[in-house]
Amino acid sequence: MKKNTNKLIFLAGFIALLFMMFNRTMLAEKNTAPAYKEIKGVTVKKVNDSRSEVVIETTGLISKYRCFKIMDPPKLVIDLTGAKHSWDKKNLDVNNPLIKRIRTSQFLDEPEKVVRVVLDLHKEVKYEAMSTLK
C-alpha cells in the first residue's frame, strides 16, 4: 500500500507545535475512492517542552484545510474540508506542556463535509503552517 505524508508545521519562537497528517490511500476493489476522506485517529507526541507532534490519520490526502486561533481560552482550530469523522473518539486528554486536550467532530455536512480538530492549549501559541508531501 502506498503511503503519503502531509506535514503542517506550526512555529512560534521558543514554542513550536508540529501538526502532521498521515494520508493513507485506500485501494478500493474498483479503484474508486469516496468523495470524502475519513479521519481515523489522532495521536500526540511530545518532542520537548516547546514542541509537540499531533498526528491526524486519514484515508487520503486532505488538500483543503484552514487553521485559526482562539485567544480566550487559547485554542488552535483546524478545519479539514472534504473529510468525514470516522474516529470512535471525540475527545483525547493529553498530558503535554502545550496541549491540554484535543476535540474532534463532524463540524459540517453541507454544503461540503468538514471535520474540525480543536487543540485546547495551556497557553497562547503563535504558529506558521507549512505543508509538505512525501
Segment 3-30, tens digit of pLDDT = 444 444 443 323 344 444 454 444 444 4
Q: Are 6 and 24 in contact (CB under 8 A)?
A: no
How does residue 114 score in pLDDT terms, banded at 50, 70 and 90?
A: very high
Beta-sheet pairing, 15-24 with 51-58: parallel
Q: Kindly state the cell numbers that stand for 29.
A: 476493489
What is the Cα Rg of the chain in Å? 15
Taking alpha carbons only, the member of 75, 79, 90, 77 closest to residue 120 is 75
Question: Is it the case that residue 120 has pLDDT exceeding 80?
Answer: yes
